[in-house]
Structure 1
Amino acid sequence: MGSACTMTMPMDHTDTSTSCGQSTPVTSLQAPQTAPSVKQFTLTTRVVKLNIGAGKTVDAWTYNGTAPGPTLRVRQGDLVVVKLVNTLPEGVTIHWHGVRVPNVADGVAGITQNAVKPGQSYTYRFLATDPGTYWYHSHEQSDEQVARGLFGMLIVDPAQPTERDDVDAQIILHDWESLGGGITINTTQQVSRVSAQAGEWVRLRLLNTRNHPLGITLVGVPFTVSALDGHDLNKPQPLQKILLPIGGGQRFDVRFQMPKDGMVRLVVTDEQGEVLQAPAALIGPDGASSPALPASLPLNWFDFSRYGEPRVDEITPQSHFDQQTQMVLGRQLGFFNGQFFMTYTINGQTMPHIPPITVSPGQLIKIRIVDESGDPHPIHIHGHTFTVLSRNGHPLTGSPVHLDTILVQPHESYEVAFRADNPGLWMDHCHNLNHAAHGMSMMIAYPNISTPFSMGSDSGNIPE
């Protein structure tokens, strides 16, 4: 998977094979063993009958008995040590979505580790270098296991906070359709409540764990989008009557000051902007009057490419790029894993036939992503944070935007760039996990990096 290593991934889930010359194994790409501050956690997987409201109970797969799993909160600079204990009937992992971990801690079965088998455990170690809102989930048969409940939020508080939040709450949107349920906020498909008093500053950390995009807005107060994928925006402006399009795996931090009277309602829509009757969230004091659920909303979608104010940034469209490449997203009927159905492609190919993007340490890499498939695709790059350079050929006019997952709508194109500063073998895939499981997944590979692990039904390592 680099200049000195090759890996083949058969379509029928039989094991991969790896051949390398002199190389560095991913198992050697580790975090330090000690640090001035260490935060330790244990996450144990188990099956739980989860009541999600409206008379619905689902047989969830959970971390520590809840879905979402426990929110892990650490401070920038902490060494994070997480022991995963598996009691489920099949193997699992934990991927730290958006976190720039060392390669061995990335949690991808068959590339950076073996899936943790029933009765076994595995310990992840990484430095929390970047503050912000992140999340974790299984990356073993992720299309099925995330849907069943193996996910949670990770918050990295800044070493020196710059904003005061009186209330800091998570809003995690999940879809239990595969288990007979509906869309939930946190643990309920009815109304979730956040306590806040008049005049207090509220931060809502929004996460979409489902495959398909949703729209989110607030009724009853102007708000700002203060961060995307955990990374602050420069001088965000107040918004009203606007929908935030949040794709699978993406995070939005929104902030507002509670009004003197009444409550604030968070409204969820489908990807066409149609208001969903459930779920919803109410933010405010007990007993306060609540804004009515609107029958419809103006179809005015948030565009981050024109939001906030410019500032000097390390990577710009004028930067010198050591390598430029393209990802054309498509779909076509074809055979995959021995079956004939709709496949999702990058540059006309499905995994494992998509050549990796091979990079060298220190290089500045530009990727043009074009969606010709007719479906939206949230594209996620592991192990790196990228800068968005342009949307539909037009450079950004607002704040610099740094992401790990970008929602590319049909007929849209984006140019993004990243510094190759984290050696390893990294996935680059659609976070509609069903699309990834049907072909839309490739690799970013540094030269002379090898893996001792293999993918396929024989090994039990099936990351998508």
Structure 2
Amino acid sequence: MKLIKENLLAFGLMAVTLVFGFAVLFFAATAGGGAEAAGGGEEPAGGGESASTLSVTLTEFAIEGSLTAPPGTVTIEAKNEGAVAHNLSVLGESKTPNFSGGESEVLTLENLAPGTYTVICDVPGHREAGMETELVITEDASASGETGDGGGNEPDYAAMDAAFTASILEFPAETEGKGNQILEPEILADGTKYFELTTEITDWETEPGRIVQAWTYNGQVPGPAIRIDVGDKVRVKVINKLPMGTDIHWHGIRTPNSEDGVAPITQTLIEAGTEYEYNFVAERPAIGMFHAHHAGQIQVPNGLFGTFQIGETPIPRGQTISGVTIPNDIEIAQEIPMVLNDAGVIGYSLNGKGFPATEPYVVTEGDWVVANYYNEGLQIHPMHLHQFPQLIIAKDGIPLDQPYWADTVNIAPGERYTVLINADTPGTWVWHCHILSHVEREDGVFGMLTAMIVQPA
């Protein structure tokens, strides 16, 4: 930890270069109704009820904009500036349909009485990830949503600078819980490797002080890592303590159809309070995942995912690729699993943690490192490691006949990439998703960012 803290100054200098691209979010408003009729001073039709128009912006995962208006009819213009579909719902009133990034929808609410109304995106997992705000109806508000405080919308850039620096210097922050812990099997009499996975909702600290109700395998996010060899007989017992049914799909793993984990097509649903067993033989090497298939849009973003590896991925020893020769005697110093998520209660995260609680990877100058990326999220994530090119040696666990170097590796939902990295330069090197809104917000750095710390040899 002392070494890591000594590297924080260098880390801050590198990561502060990420501070750009802020969008200043304004509300737009138009006033209508309540005006005197031309030439007569009579109230217009409708009895002079106020009509207000407000604007909000939806992103992953926030609802931004001023939502204060006088009683009466309120129209909310919502624009989706995110990468996935959202909606806008005023609980107890009405909601928009789902709409994609770049699209807009209008929600009109009539005869609103004074009070506070809860506004959410009710796409599963989005409210829990932060898409919740309030609509305040008050006699003190104007039809444009202003409350007469006279405040401007100019951001405080000095405060932003301070917030970014402070957030960076919190790294690495300690939190309770660690995912991806190796699950050791029980060896049965016939040699079968027996594993138990318990599904339940538990407290999970994604970043300092942010404790969520995660859907977990064995109380961790990602779930425990399963590592076996080609030819192994596998039995996995699932004990379901969730409030709903579940199943497990072995993503990227060859199994008999009956073991594919897609209820009710290949099996019966594992109902709440029941158990189920999967049995299959590991036929070939794989870099796979396991996750719920039933109600996957709820269960997976909220934490029900894990990694499953069969055998080893071949290293292209002795090959020369774009002028770089991989040593024949190469030794792998570390193998890093990096599971990406971006939704549900877990939110933007690497291995179930968001910055500054993400894990730094400490290596020695000259080390060769293998990283396996797994995307269990809903969005694409271009993963960029400063300084070091990444040699892509396998896609979805399938070794490439022609490996290639890439500065940034773009990983779509469900994909796995295996990369080889030569950490040949000492320093603290930032490692992050290069969609900047996945690592930055106005109060500082968060989410899908960590670092590789290379010690001098």
TM-score (norm 2): 0.51
Shift in Å, 1:35: 11
* Residue 15 (structure 2) aligns with: none
For residues 206-240 of structure 1, the C-alpha deviation after alignment (integer angstroms, 9 at most, x for no partner) is 01111111111211212201111011112423333
* Residue 40 (structure 1) aligns with: 194
For residues 110-148 of structure 1, the C-alpha deviation after alignment (integer angstroms, 9 at most, x for no partner) is 101111112211111122122131100011111111122
Kindly provide the amino acid, as one letter, of the partner of residue 304 in structure 2.
L
Would the alpha carbon gap of residues 74 and 234 (structure 1) be closer, same or farther in structure 2, given more than 3 Å must change?
A: same
Kindly provide the amino acid, as one letter, of the partner of residue 267 in structure 1.
H
Q: Which SS does the other structure have where 1:41 is aligned?
A: strand
Structure 1 unaligned segments of length 5 or more: list them: 1-33, 289-464
2:340 to 173, 177, 187: 173
Structure 2 distance, partners of 1:158, 1:35, is 26
* Residue 259 (structure 1) aligns with: 424
Q: Matched residues, percent identical?
A: 31
Matched, 1:197 2:197: no
Question: Residues 192 and 280 of structure 1 are in contact (CA less than 8 Å); yes or no, is this contact kept in structure 2?
Answer: no
1:115 to 269, 274, 292: 269
2:415 to 231, 235, 250: 250
Kindly provide the amino acid, as one letter, of the partner of residue 284 in structure 2.
D
Matched, 1:279 2:448: yes
Kindly provide the amino acid, as one letter, of the partner of residue 110 in structure 1.
P
Alignment of 1:299-314 (within 5 A): none
Count, aligned residues: 249
Kindly provide the amino acid, as one letter, of the partner of residue 222 in structure 1.
P
Question: Residues 255 and 281 of structure 2 are in contact (CA less than 8 Å); yes or no, is this contact kept in structure 1?
Answer: yes
Structure 2 unaligned segments of length 5 or more: list them: 1-187, 318-330
Structure 1 distance, partners of 2:263, 2:429, is 42
1:223 to 369, 383, 390: 390
For residues 239-266 of structure 1, the C-alpha deviation after alignment (integer angstroms, 9 at most, x for no partner) is 33xx322111111111111114124432
Question: Residues 215 and 273 of structure 1 are in contact (CA less than 8 Å); yes or no, is this contact kept in structure 2?
Answer: no
For residues 427-461 of structure 1, the C-alpha deviation after alignment (integer angstroms, 9 at most, x for no partner) is xxxxxxxxxxxxxxxxxxxxxxxxxxxxxxxxxxx
TM-score (norm 1): 0.50
Would the alpha carbon gap of residues 195 and 132 (structure 1) be closer, same or farther in structure 2, given more than 3 Å must change?
A: farther
Q: Which SS does the other structure have where 1:104 is aligned?
A: helix
Question: Residues 171 and 205 of structure 1 are in contact (CA less than 8 Å); yes or no, is this contact kept in structure 2?
Answer: yes
Alignment of 1:67-146 (within 5 A): 67-146=221-300
Shift in Å, 1:160: 8.1
Would the alpha carbon gap of residues 273 and 56 (structure 1) be closer, same or farther in structure 2, given more than 3 Å must change?
A: closer
Question: Residues 35 and 79 of structure 1 are in contact (CA less than 8 Å); yes or no, is this contact kept in structure 2?
Answer: no
Structure 2 distance, partners of 1:184, 1:275, is 9
Q: Which SS does the other structure have where 1:248 is aligned?
A: coil
Kindly provide the amino acid, as one letter, of the partner of residue 166 in structure 1.
A
Task: Mark the structure with the bigger radius of gyration.
Answer: 2
Q: Which SS does the other structure have where 2:297 is aligned?
A: helix
Which deviates further from its counterpart, 100-109 or 156-165? 156-165
Kindly provide the amino acid, as one letter, of the partner of residue 119 in structure 1.
G
Structure 2 distance, partners of 1:143, 1:182, is 13
Kindly provide the amino acid, as one letter, of the partner of residue 46 in structure 1.
E
Question: Residues 314 and 399 of structure 2 are in contact (CA less than 8 Å); yes or no, is this contact kept in structure 1?
Answer: no
* Residue 81 (structure 2) aligns with: none
For residues 78-105 of structure 1, the C-alpha deviation after alignment (integer angstroms, 9 at most, x for no partner) is 1121111111111111100011110111
* Residue 61 (structure 1) aligns with: 215
Question: Residues 316 and 393 of structure 2 are in contact (CA less than 8 Å); yes or no, is this contact kept in structure 1?
Answer: no
Alignment of 1:204-215 (within 5 A): 204-215=371-382
* Residue 187 (structure 1) aligns with: 352
Q: CA RMSD in A?
A: 2.5
